[in-house]
Structure 1
Amino acid sequence: MTLSAADRRSLTGFAVSGVGGTVVVSSDRLRWVGFGGVLLLAVAAWSGVLAVGPAVVSLAVGVAGVGLVVLAWVLLGRAVLAGRPRPSARWLKRTLVLWCGPLLVVPPLFSRDVFSYLAQGEVAARGLDPNAVGPARALGAVSGVVERVGVQWRDTPSPYGPLFGAVERAIARVSVGDPVVGILLHRLVEVLGLVLVVWAVQRLAAVVGTSRRAALWLGVLNPLVLWHLVAGVHNDSVMLGLMLAGTAIALGALGERVEWGPLVFGVVLIALAAEVKVPALVALAVVGTALARRRGGAVGDFVRVGIGMVGVFVVVSVLVSLLTGLGFGWVRALGTSGRVDSWMAPTNWFGFLIGGIGALMGADVTRTAIGVGKAVGYVLTVVGIGVVLRGQLRGRIGEVTSLGVILGLVVVLGPVVQPWYLLWAVIPLAVCLPVGRAWVWLTGLVAVFAVLVPPLAGDFSGMVGQLLAGYAIGIAVVGAAFLVLRKADAGERSMARV
C-alpha cells in the first residue's frame, strides 16, 4: 500500500506524541504489551468470579488490561500502515491467536448475554418455542439457569433466528445444564465464526484491491472483536462470519463471466447468516445490486434480481425453520430486542429528553416519545438504504463500502445500540476505506467503544465510587506503561544514532 504525503500526515493520529517526539514502538514489543493486557483481563475475570480481594481491585485490573490492549493496538496501527518493516498478514493473524488465547478460558466479560443463550437453548431442548416464551415463564423464575440471565431479558423471548436456535438447543443438550460446559461450547461456536471472519476479510480485500494487513489490523485485531466476539461470546460472530464469507464468495463470482455456482453458494451463506440475526439481510441487497449492475444496471434488472434474492431467502428460511423443528415463531420475535430502551441508541435520546422534560411537568410521555424516535429512525434507515443502493447501482459507491455504510445506518438509526453492533459496520469498512482521515476517525471510534463498557459485566449503579476508583487506577497503570514504552523507544533511537 502506497501512502500519499497527506495520508502520512493524517496517520499521526495513530501515534502519541510526547516531549521526545512521536512514539514508534516495535511491533513485537506491542504484541507482548497487548498479551499482557489480555492476561490482566483474565486475572480480573477470575478474581471477580472467585471473589478474591476487593471488587475495586478486580475492576482496576480489568480496566488496566483493557487500556493496555487498546494502547498496543492503536500504536500497532502506525506500524501496520506506515512502519518499516511492516508486520505481515501472517504476523497479525498469529498476534490475534495470541491475544485471544487467555480470553478463551475466562468467564464471560463485558456482557451476560451468553446466559440468555443458555436459557433459550434449555427452553428449546424442552420442546418449547424460545421465540414465543421467555426463560422465566418456560423454566420457572427460581431456575438456576434463569437466575444467571440479565433481569431485563428473563421474560423476553429469543430474538434470534432458527439456525442459532438450533445451535442453542444442541449446546443445551450436550452440556446437560452445566453452565461452564455450555459457555465453552458457545465460545467454540463464536471462535469458528471468527475464523470465517478472518478468511472473509482477506478475501474481500483481494476483491476490492486493498491491503490485507490493514484490513486485518482494523477489522479483526481490534479490541471490540476480542471483547465481544471472544470474551463476551456474542453470536454476532456467527452472523458476521457467514455474512462476510457469503459476500466475499458472491462478489468474487461477479467477474468478467458470472460464476453462478459460487454466486448461489454465497447468497445461501448470507441467507443462513440472517437465520442467526436478521440484519445480515442487507448483504443480500448489496450482492443483488452488484449483480443488477453487472446485468446492465436498469431498474428492471434491479427489481428482477431483488425478487430472486428475496426468493432465495424465503426458501432458505422455510427449510431451516422446518428442518430444525423450531417453526416460524422467530418472524414474530424480530422486534424483541427493541423492547429494551437502549441509552446508546440515538433514536432513543429524543424520547429520554422529552420524557425528562415531561416528568418535570408531571406528564409521563417517555414511552410515546421513544416510540416516535424509533419510528423516525426506521424511516430514515429505509431512505438511507435506498440512497446508498442507488449510488451503488450507478457505480458511485463500491459494493463493500455500500455494505459497511448500510450496516452503519442500521446500527446508528436502530432502536438498540450495543458496542459489539459497531463491528457490523467496522469490519467491512476496514476492508474498503482509503487510508487517511477516515481511518483515524474509525480507529478513534473503536477505541472509545472499547473502553465504554466496564469489563466485568454487572450493575454498577450502586458502585459509582468503586467504578471511578477502578478506572482511575487502571488509567494510571496504562499511563505508566506508555511512559515505559516511550523511554524504551527513545533508548533504541539513541542506540541507532550511535
Structure 2
Amino acid sequence: MTGPGVPTEGRARRARYLGLAGAVLLGVAGWLGGALSQVPPTGPWRAPHGPAATLCWLAGTALMVGAWWALRAGAPSTRWAYVTAGLWSLPLLVTPPLASRDVYSYACQGWSYAAGHDPYRVGVAAAGCPWVDSVAPIWRDTPAPYGPVFVLLAALAAGLGGTLVGTLVVLRLYAVAGVLLAALCLPGLARAAGVPTRRAAWLALASPLIGVHLVAGAHNDAVMLGLLLLGLLVLVRSPGRTRALLVAGVLLGLAVAVKATAVVVLPFAALAAVHGRYTWRALLRDGGRLAGAVVVTLAAASVLSGLGLGWVDGLARSGDSEQWTSPPTAVGFVVDYVGEGVGRHPGAVPVTRAVGLLVLAVLLALLWWRAWTALRRRNDVRQRVHRLAAARPRITLFAAGTALAATVFLAPVLHPWYVTWPLLVLAGSATRTTWFVLPAAVASFLTLPDGTTVARYTKAPGAIAVTALLVVLAWWASRAWRARRAGPTGTGARLDEGT
C-alpha cells in the first residue's frame, strides 16, 4: 500500500520491532521491580534489582514511544496496526501489575463487597481484606470511587479468582476485554468520521499508555472505554432509531456505572442521537430517549447491586492525591510557593482546583453549543459528498473527545492512564493529531514500574514548568484568537474540521 502518509516498508518494520523490544524491556522491568504485592512503592531503584528495573523501564518506554511517534501519520494498513499492537501487548500480558497499584484496590473492594461490606462506606482495611497490604496506603481507608457495575465485576473477580493472584488475572482479563471491544469499534467510528482507519487504529491501540496502563496495569478505564466507544458506534450508525437509542443508552449507562467520567460524553452523545434536521424538538425527542435509557440503566445498577448512590460520595475522595500533573493543582502549588516566600500560607490548591472545575464547566458548555450550532448549519447542506456525509459524526465525536481532553487537564487529579480517555475518541475523529498525541507521549514517562509517580520527586520544578507552559499557551491562544478575529471572515476555526 502506498500513498500520502503511508510509511515505507523499512520504516514500518523498524518501528514494529523497536516497539516490541521496548515492550519486552517493560515486561522485564515489571518482573524486576513492578507493582508487586506487599512491596510498597518506594522507587524501583531501592528494590534488590532496582537499577536494572529502572534502566529497563526507561529504555523500554523510550523505544515504545519513539516507535509509536514515528508512525503517527498512520500505519501501512489497519490490519498491520492491529497485528503490531497485539505483538506489543504480549509481553505486557504476562508481567506483574505495572505503573500503578490500583488493581489491588479493585481486588480488595471486590472482596469487601463479596464479604457483605458496603465499599462506599467502609474502607478495605476496616473491611478486613486479606490483601490490604498490597493496596497503596492512601487508598486503604477511603471509600470506592467506582460505579456499582465495576464493584460487581470486582466482586465476581474475587469470587472466581479466590486468591490474590487469581483475582488479578480475572481483573486483567476484564481490561483486555475492554481494549478488544474498543479495538472492534475504532474502524467503524473512524469511517463514520471520515478518518483513515489505519491511523486511528495505530494512534489508539499502539500507544504505550494502552499496553502499560490498560493491559499491564489492568485499569478499569479499559472497561469504561470499551462500553463508551460501542455506545457511540451504535449512535453514529443508526441515529434516531428507537432500538439503537435504547441499546446505546444502556451501553453508555453501563460505562458511567463503571467510572463516572463517561458522563462527560453524554451531552455530545445526545447530539449524535438526533436523526434528520437538527432542531430543539428533534434533540428533545431523540436525546430524551437516549437519556432515559441511561438513567434507567444507572438506576437498575444501583438498585440491583444494593449499593444505591453511595458511589457518588466516593468520588469526592479521588482528589486526595495532589500532584503537579494536574494543571490546576500545579498552579496552586506555585501560588503557595510565592505565598511562602512572602511569609504567607494561603493554601491555594483547593481554590485553584475549584477554579479549574468552574472553567471546565464553562468550557464543556461552550463545546456543546459550538457543536450544536455547527450541526444546525448543516441542516440545509445537501450531503452528496463523502466529506459532508461524514461531517455529522465527526462533529459529535470530535466534540466528545475534546470534552474528555478538557476534563483530563482541568480535573483536580491527572494520572497518565486518564489520557487514554480522549486518546481513543480523538484517534477516530480528529483530522489534526499532534495536539493530543504529544501529551500522550509525554504522559508515558510520568510513572515508574512499581507505581511511583515521577511527580512525587519533582513537585516544585514540575509545578513551575506546568504553570509556565499554561502562561505560554494562554498567550498563544490569545494571539491566535485576535488573528482570527482580524481575518476576512472572523469566524475562527471550525469544530467540524478537527482543529
Instruction: Tell me, yes or no, whether TM beats 0.5.
Output: yes
- CA distance in 2 between partners of 1:123 and 1:223 (Å): 32
After TM superposition, list the pairs within 5 Å mapping 1:118-137 onto structure 2: 118-137=107-126
> Which residue does 2:318 correspond to in 1?
337
1:193 to 165, 178, 186: 178
1:421 matched to 2:402? The reply is no
- Displacement of 1:304 in angstroms is 5.2
> Which residue does 1:384 correspond to in 2?
363
- Displacement of 1:460 in angstroms is 7.5
1:64 to 59, 64, 89: 59
- Displacement of 1:216 in angstroms is 0.4
- Give the gaps of 5 or more residues in structure 2: 37-45, 376-393, 459-499
1:151 matched to 2:137? The reply is yes
1:208 to 184, 193, 196: 193
> Which residue does 1:184 correspond to in 2?
169
1:248 to 233, 240, 243: 233
- Displacement of 1:53 in angstroms is 5.6
- CA distance in 1 between partners of 2:183 and 2:336 (Å): 44
Return closer, same or farther for 1:331/1:305 CA change in 2, 3 Å cut-off: farther
Q: Is the 8 A contact 1:290 1:392 kept in 2?
A: no
Identical-pair percentage: 35
Q: Say which SS state the counterpart of residue 160 (structure 1) adopts.
A: coil
RMSD: 2.6
- Displacement of 1:335 in angstroms is 2.1
1:274 to 240, 248, 256: 256
- CA distance in 1 between partners of 2:452 and 2:353 (Å): 27
Q: Deviations over 1:55-99 (max 9, x none)?
A: 11111012111111112222233562xxxxxx2211211111111
Q: Is the 8 A contact 1:238 1:276 kept in 2?
A: yes
Q: Say which SS state the counterpart of residue 33 (structure 2) adopts.
A: helix
> Which residue does 2:438 correspond to in 1?
444
Q: Is the 8 A contact 2:161 2:169 kept in 1?
A: no
Q: Deviations over 1:100-137 (max 9, x none)?
A: 11111111111111111111112111111111221122
Letter in 1 for 2:365: G
- Displacement of 1:341 in angstroms is 2.1
Q: Is the 8 A contact 1:37 1:64 kept in 2?
A: yes
Which deviates the most, 94-103 or 374-383?
A: 374-383
Q: Is the 8 A contact 1:247 1:267 kept in 2?
A: no
Q: Is the 8 A contact 2:23 2:88 kept in 1?
A: yes
- CA distance in 1 between partners of 2:288 and 2:248 (Å): 17
Q: Deviations over 1:328-372 (max 9, x none)?
A: 211222322123223211111232122223334554432xx2222
Which deviates the most, 453-462 or 210-219?
A: 453-462
After TM superposition, list the pairs within 5 Å mapping 1:402-413 onto structure 2: 402-413=399-410
User: TM-score, normalized by length of structure 1?
Assistant: 0.80
Which deviates the most, 372-381 or 222-231?
A: 372-381
- CA distance in 1 between partners of 2:411 and 2:395 (Å): 23
> Which residue does 2:243 correspond to in 1?
261
2:372 to 393, 400, 404: 393
- CA distance in 1 between partners of 2:345 and 2:418 (Å): 30
> Which residue does 1:315 correspond to in 2?
296
- CA distance in 1 between partners of 2:22 and 2:49 (Å): 20
- CA distance in 1 between partners of 2:350 and 2:11 (Å): 51
Letter in 2 for 1:345: S
Q: Which has the higher contact order (CA 8 A, sep 6+)?
A: 1
Return closer, same or farther for 1:308/1:379 CA change in 2, 3 Å cut-off: farther
Return closer, same or farther for 1:440/1:461 CA change in 2, 3 Å cut-off: closer
> Which residue does 2:78 correspond to in 1?
89
Return closer, same or farther for 1:461/1:195 CA change in 2, 3 Å cut-off: closer
Return closer, same or farther for 1:332/1:457 CA change in 2, 3 Å cut-off: closer
1:220 matched to 2:214? The reply is no
- CA distance in 2 between partners of 1:302 and 1:374 (Å): 33
Return closer, same or farther for 1:456/1:63 CA change in 2, 3 Å cut-off: farther
Letter in 1 for 2:437: T
